[in-house]
Structure 1
Amino acid sequence: MNDPIDTEALDWVRDGYVIDVGCGTGRHLEMLARRGVRGHGVEVSPAAVSLARAAGVSCVRADVFSYHPPHPVDAVIAIGGNGGMAGTLEALPGFLLRLSSWLNERGRLVLTCSDWTRLPPEKLNGHGSPSRGYPGDVRMRFRLDDEVGAWFPWLLVDAETLGQVCSSVGLRIVERKEWLGGAVHGALIERAPSP
C-alpha cells in the first residue's frame, strides 16, 4: 500500500515529541519513530486505537476537542487532511488555538487540508448539506462495504483562508507544500512574534 501523498509534510518534524491528532492506526507516528521522533496519538475510533496499540503505538481514544495532553509538546500534527477536523470555517480559529495551546514555547503545528477551490463541484457537500455559508463547510461520512456511517461536518479550507485565520489568532504559516495541483496543501504553523 502506498503512503498518502501528504506524508511528505512529516519532513517538517525532525525531532522532539509529537501529538498526532486523528492518528488512525498510527501510521504517521510509526514513520516518525523510524526517524527517531517520539509521539502519542489521539483518535476517536476504538478499532483504530486497538490496531495502533497492537502495533506498539502510544495512543488514546479521545476527541481532539476534549483531550488534554500531560505536558507541552514540540509539534502537533494533523496530517491526512485532518485540518478538516475543525468542522467549519467558523470553528477553525478555536481549533487552531486549541492545538497550539498544546505546544511548548517553540512548538509548531503541521496541518494538511483539502482545498475546496481545487476540487470538482460534485465532490463538495454530501446529500442534504447546507448550500449557504463558506463553500468548504461540507459534510462527510465513511462507507465500508455495505456499512455507512453518520454524516459529520468537515472543513475543506483554501490556503489563503487558512493563512488569514492563522493571522487572526496570532499564528503564522512559515512554510507551505502542495500536492495534486493544490487540491491538498500543507502548512507549517508557529506562533507569530509578539509586536
Structure 2
Amino acid sequence: MSTDVFGMAIRDYYFSGDREGEIRTYSSLGEEDAFPIAYLFREYNTMPVLEQKALDLCRGRVLDIGCGAGSHSLYLQGKGIEVVSLDVSPGAVEVCRAMGLTGVVEADFWSYEGKKFDTLLLLMNGIGISGRVGRLPEFFEKARALLKPSGQVLFDSSDIIYMFDKDEDGEYEFPSPETYYGEVEFEVAYRGARSEPFPWLYIDAVVMERAAADHGFAFELVRKGDHYDYLGKLTLLGY
C-alpha cells in the first residue's frame, strides 16, 4: 500500500485526539463501508470473542503480524509475554512505540527475518495478506521459516460465501468461476487520502485445511464465530 492510510488515521487518533475519524473501505464486491479508527485501539474486554480466544492461546515468543495500533500486542506485553509487533506502516509503528510497546519492527511480513517464534498471530483476518489462494504456498513457506518446530499460527478469517446470490438451481453465482470467491480487491481511504487497490484473501476453513495439508501443516478449527467467521490454528505436521 503506497499511501499510508492506516498510519495517517492511527497517528491522528493518538497524537491529535481525533476520536471521530473513520476509515472507508471499497471492495471489488461492490461493497463500500466504514469503521471508526477507535476500533483499532480497543482493549481486550471489547474485542470479539475469537480475538480474545486467540490471545488466550498465545504462548512463548509471539510475532504479531500487521499489529496496526498495537491493541493485541499491548495486551500480550501486559501479560508478560514477549511480543514482536510487526507492521509495514510507519505511522502505526510510530504510535505503537509511543504507547510503550518495546518490540516494534517496521517491516513487511514477506521480507522480515528474525529469531524463531512460538506463535505467529494474524488477527482481523491477517491471513488476508496472502491476497490469493495461489500465494498460500509462499505463506506456508514463510511461516515455516519463522516458526519453532513446535510453534503455532493463530488466525481468524471468514467464509464470505454468504455475500453471493444463488441462481434458480440453488447454485452460487460467483463473478468468475476461475477465481476463488474469497479473493477480493480493496482500497482504503481516510480524509482525502486513498490507497491503491490491493488484494486481500478471505478463506473458508475447508480450503485452508486442504492447503495446509498440502504444505506440511495441520489445521484445527478452534472456534466458530457468529457469522461465517472462525478462529484457526496451524501447526507443523509431526509436532
TM-score range, shorter chain: 0.7 to 0.9
Query: Partner residue of 1:64?
Result: 109
Deviations, residues 101-123 of structure 1 (Å, cap 9, x unaligned): 211121111111122224x239x
TM-score (norm 2): 0.71
Which of the numbers 193, 207, 224 marks the counterpart of 1:161?
Answer: 207
Q: Tell me, which stretches of 5 or more residues in structure 1 are unaligned?
A: 123-129
Query: Partner residue of 1:126?
Result: none
Query: Partner residue of 1:151?
Result: 197
Q: How far apart are the structure 2 equivalents of 1:99 and 1:18?
A: 13
Which residue type is aligned with residue 68 of structure 1?
Answer: E
- Stretch deviating more after TM superposition (52-61 or 78-87): 52-61
Structure 1 position 78 matched with structure 2 position 122: yes
TM-score (norm 1): 0.86
1:180 alignment partner, SS class:
coil
Deviations, residues 27-62 of structure 1 (Å, cap 9, x unaligned): 111111222211101111110000001112121111
State the shift of 1:5 in Å.
4.8
Query: Partner residue of 1:11?
Result: 56
Which of the numbers 33, 46, 49 marks the counterpart of 2:93?
Answer: 49
Query: Partner residue of 1:190?
Result: 235
> Would you identify which runs of 4 or more consecutive aligned residues in structure 1 move more than 6 Å?
none
Q: Percent identity?
A: 27
Alignment of 1:131-146 (within 5 A): 131=176, 132-146=178-192
Structure 1 position 111 matched with structure 2 position 159: no
Q: Tell me, which stretches of 5 or more residues in structure 2 are unaligned?
A: 1-41, 166-174
1:110 alignment partner, SS class:
strand
Q: Kindly indicate whether the alpha-carbon contact (under 8 Å) linking 1:78 and 1:112 is maintained by their aligned counterparts in 2.
A: yes
Q: Kindly indicate whether the alpha-carbon contact (under 8 Å) linking 2:221 and 2:230 is maintained by their aligned counterparts in 1.
A: no
State the shift of 1:156 in Å.
0.8
Structure 1 position 23 matched with structure 2 position 71: no
Query: Partner residue of 1:172?
Result: 218
Question: CA RMSD of the aligned region, Å?
Answer: 1.9
2:132 alignment partner, SS class:
coil
Computing the radius of gyration from Cα coordinates, the structure with the larger value is 2
Structure 1 position 121 matched with structure 2 position 164: yes
State the shift of 1:191 in Å.
0.6
Which of the numbers 88, 101, 111 marks the counterpart of 2:132?
Answer: 88
Which residue type is aligned with residue 3 of structure 1?
Answer: M
Q: How far apart are the structure 1 equivalents of 2:61 and 2:182?
A: 32
Q: How far apart are the structure 1 equivalents of 2:221 and 2:76?
A: 19
Q: How far apart are the structure 1 equivalents of 2:47 and 2:90?
A: 22
* Count of aligned residue pairs for this structure pair: 183
